[in-house]
Amino acid sequence: MIQPNDLIVFCGAGGFIGGHLVAEYRKRGYTNLRAVDIKPFEEWHQLFPDVDNLQLDLSCRENCFNALEGAVWVYNHAADMGGMGFIETHKALCMLSVLINTHLLLAAKHHKVQRFFFASSACVYAADKQTTTDVIPLKESDAYPAMPEDGYGWEKLFSERMCRHFRDDFNLDTRIVRYHNVYGPHGTWDGGREKAPAAICRKVAEAKLLNTNEIEIWGDGQQTRSFQYIDDCLQGTIAIMESNIVDPINLGTSEIVTINQLVDVAEDIAQVKLKRRYNLKAPQGVRGRNSDNTLIRRQLNWEPCIPLRYGMEKTYAWVSEQILQGIPSLTY
């Protein structure tokens, strides 16, 4: 097991999950942490002065070798990605993230890293299993025969296989987690890369603050999803990293809702009722997606369980605060 003074490297640490993961290890008493991201420090979601923070482009081989020097464990959350509005319109950029994982794996092999974590996605799952709103929960074997999300999903699935073969051929101990829609405070909430929970919180908060009484919803609102709060994601991520689970595994809640129901929750939190304008031409993704948690329950005797309402309350409060900070003239 990792020791408190062993070097852990977090790639993509300026992003949402990566930043929270660094924060969690600090809380747990780990003192030798290195955080790496391509973004300027002022754009990181969370930045800690007692961490070795590096601004590096990890698509470059030399940077990966420098970033992983001395590492015992490595978390790879680095990728060019966002919500459906981004990944459906930036497929080449999403696929170029394969350079990051390729060079990090080579660096991990070179530096004899003890354990390597790859953040995959539910977007690897076959599209023909996600065509209806009453989707059957996706189990890990449903990734094959391969028909993932075009662009982003293909890169994730390919990188999963690369991790597997680095384990088989080079004895690099890898962990692969398929995240299902993670959300919470300190995430992207505007600008085009945000995901549905943050986007809905922003739209409802802005409608309330500006008194417009209307929001736009992408699609017809009947699409179904499960949304995992960040605290569950962190607990599951670290538990899987510490476990002996080497094959890809789902990490997501099984609490499925429609997008309309997600809006209902946000409206109830904000204590408003808004007119809904449906944009059927906007990016919508698959029709339905949910996580089958049979494997994680069997392996860890645990699964993500934080209710959507609780997580959305925390997220809505944080997003509202960001909006108010950006619009000084607004008051409640």
> 16: buried, middle or exposed (CB in 10 Å: 19+, 13-18, 0-12)?
buried
- Distance between CA atoms of 197 and 184, rounded to whole angstroms? 8
Catalytic residue among 30, 75, 125, 152: 152
Res 328: pLDDT: 54
pLDDT tens digits, 178-236: 999 999 999 889 888 888 999 999 999 999 999 999 999 999 999 999 999 999 999 99
Measure the CA dihedral 148/152/139/281, to 10°.
-70
**In CATH, 8-182+227-251 is 3.40.710.10:** no
- Distance between CA atoms of 157 and 154, rounded to whole angstroms? 5
pLDDT tens digits, 118-137: 999 999 999 889 889 988 99
Name the token pair of 275.
Answer: 């007119």
Q: How far is CA 316 from the centre of its chain?
A: 18
Q: Where are the domains of the chain?
A: 8-182+227-251, 185-226+255-290+307-325
Domain spanning 185-226+255-290+307-325: which CATH class is it, in words? alpha beta
pLDDT tens digits, 17-49: 999 999 999 999 999 999 999 999 999 999 999
pLDDT tens digits, 49-95: 999 999 999 999 999 999 999 999 999 999 987 767 787 888 999 89
**Contact between 64 and 51 (Cβ < 8 Å):** no
Whole-structure pTM value: 0.94
Same fold, 8-182+227-251 and 185-226+255-290+307-325: no
Question: Tokens 């949304």 — which residue?
Answer: 227
Helix axes 230-242, 16-27, angle to 10 degrees: 70
**152 is known as an active-site residue:** yes
